[in-house]
Structure 1
Amino acid sequence: MSAAKLPTLILASSSPRRQELIQSLGLPYIIRVSDADESVEGQITPAEMVEMLSVRKASTVREMIQSEDIEGVIIGSDTVVVHQGEVLGKPVNEEDSFRMLKGLQGAVHEVFSGVACIDAKSGKMTVSHQVTKVSMKPLTDEQIWNYIATGEPKDKAGSYAIQGLGATIVKSIEGDYFNVVGLPISMLSDMLLTFDIRVL
């Protein structure tokens, strides 16, 4: 099958990290940023949360492109950091970043990433999630503030980026590295098989 005939992947995300990872699959893709509401009500598990938000992001983009006659598979994804039962999303300010990073230092936390794939035309959908355990180094308050001063934690779940300077504060991981970046590529490639899209 020629590349021109491959279904288009439609990434429902403005994240540069996710865009780079989608590009690495070597399949045709386009970006359609989802403006989906990311608020969550009620008591749900982190796994349920990331799956629900991934579906919401992908579904919102499907509605957006209905009039554009675009065919392909829409990919929505959501990532959260969970430590001692608390879900850590993006920090609201530098003090919030410090609170998160102070809590994570010298401990193990989990990163949950949900992925939803929806066929733009038929609405056929598959959704799943992945969990990776991350062990952080113990840091001094000065080190935490120095990291925050770089600006990197600003828009990251849990206030760190493992693919950036945040790599220097991570001791080890157990599971999929790309899950921590924000898009578990191996799991996504398996999910795309549902739509007869083969990466290899």
Structure 2
Amino acid sequence: MATLQSLFALMVLVTICSAAPKKPTLKIPEECKGKGFCSIKPEGYDEMQAEVNKLLNNQFIAQNFADRIGDDVEMGTVEISPESDWHNCPTRKKREPMYAYSHPNDTESADYIIQNDMIQQPVDIVSCANDLISKENSEKEECFQHFGLSSFNYKSKCETSYTFRNYFVYDYNKKQIVIKSYEVPCCCTCKISSSQ
């Protein structure tokens, strides 16, 4: 009789455990580990959306998104600065949905940026596009060449500049939506320095 009771108790325990909701398992794509923004949707990301949607409501949207309506640019579109401005620093801008941010030197975890029907947070990546200028015209890729900086012992170079932008992130451990800041390449800047 005791064996039958133990067997029954074991069956009840197995049933309860299998009925409990599964915690989604998120796997960082190998290509993204430790490399910042990742446009590849991690395995388990869609299952996480159910938990995120429970946290989203009209009040959250009204409080946090009144000022977040941006320009209507299609995802994946690449914009190049006008050729007439290439004597300065030519730029390339690409807008992509990013699903995770994997911190340098951390290959085991990542921050999961919320992307769904209610919240879309594209990342605009702006970088220098010196590859568009022929080497004959670039004079070692210096910018503002027409100013004659070399005659004053100065040199110039186009470099990508960064800024911090805020994104809504799902905190996997606390089961909360939090705001985190990430460094994003925002423009190409002409840096001037002494050539001596």
TM-score range, shorter chain: under 0.3
Q: Greater helix percent: which structure?
A: 1
Q: TM-score, normalised by structure 1?
A: 0.26
The structure showing larger relative contact order (alpha-carbon pairs under 8 Å, at least 6 residues apart) is: 1
| Largest Rg, 1 or 2 | 2
Q: Greater strand percent: which structure?
A: 2
